[in-house]
Structure 1
Amino acid sequence: MKVVLKNNSGKILFVVVALFVIFLGYSLYQAPVEGIENRFIYLLKTYGYIILFAWSILEGEAGLVMAGLLSHTGDMNMYMAIFIAGLGGFAGDQIYFYTGRFNKSYVHKKFKGQRRKFALAHILLQKYGWPIIFVQRYMYGMRTIIPISIGLTRYSAKTFAFINLISAWCWAAITIVPVWYFGEEILIVLKWLKEHWYYALPFALLIGGSIVYYFHIMTKKKEK
């Protein structure tokens, strides 16, 4: 049984994610309200913690922003949101770590074109040690690579899990608390963006594209 899990961990994760998406889609369809926007709001208020946990596994800051806003409106408890988001972030990196630890041949085959990033991850781990586990969540292009690459080494699984858990809760708090505190201002901005989307969309695409391009260039520089 253990061998089956090791060899099929990627497929198992895909099935779990697919079932979760189907569940959300069905819940959205069955929501007892009218309008797609109201359905999404209903879904978030009803299954907010479940969605937050799953979203955090994928390291999505957008899910944390959602949690911060729902905490501001009273539809979520901020402390519970931080706790659950941290657990989700922790679970996601543990999955990546054990993918590297138990599926080395799969990793080498699947990430064949990412050898430079893996080499960079090993260099960072050797140079900085455990702090790299703490900050890797904020490193665009490396957030998946670093936990997997650490799993490929003989690094202690217990040490990684402990640092990963603390890091995940800090990551959740750093994002959720400011959004909760400035929730009213953020909601005002979101309302304006909704009413003037034709102005906001090109600006958002420009800013988003610039950020992605910047981090892409920075990642390329680090790989050299």
Structure 2
Amino acid sequence: MEKLFKKLQPHSGKILAVIVITFFSYLGYNLYHAPVSGFEEKFVYLLKEYGYIILFAWGMLEGEAGLVMAGLLSHTGDMNLYLAIFIAGLGGFAGDQVYFYIGRFNKSHVHKKFKGQRRKFAFAHLLLKKYGWPIIFIQRYMYGMRTIIPISIGLTRYSAKMFAFINLISAWCWAAITIVPVWYFGEEILVVLEWAKEHWYLAIPIAAIFGGSIIYMFNKATKKVERKVVNEN
């Protein structure tokens, strides 16, 4: 794995761009040619037909919205619950592995690209030094640090094999913690979504307030941990 990344490193940006463009072009083509009418019906068809592919890509981006959709599709029987967790976890694992190897084999680019994020990188190094491997396990729940921590660990001499093992277990736990509750309470969530569809003028501000509150709480908790770790060091 490491030898492969070393060979591909000089062309990593171009390769990633080609993969992303190809993937979204593929989805766009199938969305346009979906054998149903209406954008909403086409989107639902796309999720049912290519759900696992989309879920893997969404998992790489560590987007909980994709996992919520997987939970709902598992509830309706359009996805297998265990397979959805497995694939979403693999996506999350693959995404963090990419970030890790960016830090491991492209240090000069990282220092240049993330010049304005030095404080976060310093914080990530302090977290790894103070807490060790558990920080790899919980970094997915730290707002604003999801990308920084895997890259910063890659910059150190931390074992690539150990990171991969912990990262894989963490990714599957993250997928299960998100998907299973949505699957279990799927009927209630579908009722709420139907209400939101009919009363969008009320649902939009409520969703904005709710989502903003969650982001604020996670951001506040992360900053609190940062102050504590910095003061102790």
Q: Give runs of ≥4 in structure 1 deviating > 6 Å.
A: none
1:86 aligns with 2:86: no
Residue in 1 that maps onto 2:43: 40
TM-score (ref. length: structure 2): 0.92
1:22 aligns with 2:19: no
Q: Distance in 1 between matches of 2:221 and 2:209?
A: 18
Deviation at 1:25, TM superposition (A): 0.7
Q: How many pairs does the alignment contain?
A: 224
Residue in 2 that maps onto 1:72: 75
Q: How does 1:57-136 map to 2 (within 5 A)?
A: 57-136=60-139
Q: Distance in 2 between matches of 1:90 and 1:4?
A: 21
Residue in 2 that maps onto 1:200: 203
Q: Distance in 1 between matches of 2:176 and 2:5?
A: 35
Q: Distance in 2 between matches of 1:215 and 1:83?
A: 26
Deviation at 1:207, TM superposition (A): 2.3
Say whether the 8 Å CA contact 2:67–2:88 is kept in structure 1.
yes
Which shows bigger deviation, 195-204 or 147-156? 195-204
Q: Distance in 1 between matches of 2:181 and 2:214?
A: 21
The one of 151, 171, 174 aligned to 1:171:
174
Say whether the 8 Å CA contact 2:5–2:101 is kept in structure 1.
no
Structure 1's 138 and 3: CA in aligned 2 closer, same or farther, altered over 3 A? closer
Q: Distance in 1 between matches of 2:207 and 2:109?
A: 37
Q: Which residue identity lines up with residue 212 of structure 1 in the other structure?
A: I
State, as a whole percentage, how many aligned pairs show the same letter. Answer: 77
The one of 115, 138, 141 aligned to 2:141:
138
Q: Which residue identity lines up with residue 162 of structure 2 in the other structure?
A: T
Unpaired stretches in structure 1, ≥5 consecutive residues: none
Q: Which residue identity lines up with residue 26 of structure 2 in the other structure?
A: F
Q: Distance in 2 between matches of 1:110 and 1:7?
A: 15
Deviation at 1:206, TM superposition (A): 2.0
Deviation at 1:200, TM superposition (A): 1.1
Q: CA RMSD in A?
A: 1.5
Which shows bigger deviation, 3-12 or 107-116? 3-12
Deviation at 1:209, TM superposition (A): 2.5
Per-residue CA deviations over 1:7-34 (Å, capped at 9, x if unaligned) read 2213311221111111111110000100
Structure 1's 155 and 78: CA in aligned 2 closer, same or farther, altered over 3 A? same
Unpaired stretches in structure 2, ≥5 consecutive residues: none
Say whether the 8 Å CA contact 2:139–2:146 is kept in structure 1.
yes
TM-score (ref. length: structure 1): 0.95
